[in-house]
Every structure is written in C-alpha cells, then in structure tokens.
Structure 1
C-alpha cells in the first residue's frame, strides 16, 4: 500500500498553503481518501495532479533574422 499524505504534507510538497489542497478536495479535482473524519491523499494522486497540470513551454523561433520582404 502506498503512503497517504495529510493535507499539510500535500501543501508542503506543492509549496502552497493548506487552503489550496483543501480547495482541490472540495472541488473534487484530486483523488482523496476519507479515514473517519480525516482526509488523506495518496502520493500518486499528488504526482498525477502535478503531471496533469504541467504546462510545457513553447519554443519560438527568433523574429527578425529571416529574409527581408
């Protein structure tokens, strides 16, 4: 079984306040587990969330070095 993280631990890994992972949970944007009244998030769910929301940079060609019109 993989490690389940507390909301505080998720916030630390994402570099945010506790409010952000709580909002993700409330909006059902990240998978979570309820253990009694406690909420836990699997490490793989955090990694999946980061992967799904990672934006790759766009590489642009330099402008102004082509032929004259």
Structure 2
C-alpha cells in the first residue's frame, strides 16, 4: 500500500457522515440488517436527515467505530 494511502486511512475525519452502504462495507452487514438494528436500537448511533420514514440516514464514522469497539470480546 502506498504511503499516501496509509496516511489517508489514518487521518479519516471522525465526523464524516457515512451512508448505510458505507457502513455495510465497513462491517460486512447488509443494509436491511442495519435498518433492523436501527429499529431495534441495537446498532450504531445514526443521524436522520429529514422527517418521516423515507428520510436519508447517515452514520458518523466515530459512532460506527465506537460501536464496533464496544463489541470487541476476548476468547479467554
């Protein structure tokens, strides 16, 4: 991996808003699974950009990373 790519990876903006597709790519979870998790309130925190059921949903990168961190377990 080129050095420039690694620096970009390290310096990602924690406030960046990610689409459900972006989060799915990060977590390997499907869009419908993420929607179910929002409904059950078991997934990462999200931002709803508008009112109603059809309003776009976004996730802050820091919230997704924190959610993943809290799910880390030890096999011991």
Query: Normalized against structure 2, the TM-score is what?
Result: 0.67
What displacement does 1:56 show?
A: 1.4
| The structure with more helix, counted as a fraction of residues | 2
List gaps (5 residues or longer) in structure 1: 59-69
**TM-score using structure 1 length:** 0.73
Residue 40 (structure 2) aligned to one of 21, 27, 30: 27
The RMSD of aligned alpha carbons is 1.5
Return the alpha-carbon distance in structure 2 between the equivalents of residues 19 and 51 of structure 1.
22
- Segments of structure 2 that go 5 or more residues without pairing to the other structure are 1-13
The ranges of structure 1 where at least 4 consecutive aligned residues each deviate by more than 2 angstroms after the TM superposition are: none
Greater C-alpha radius of gyration = 1
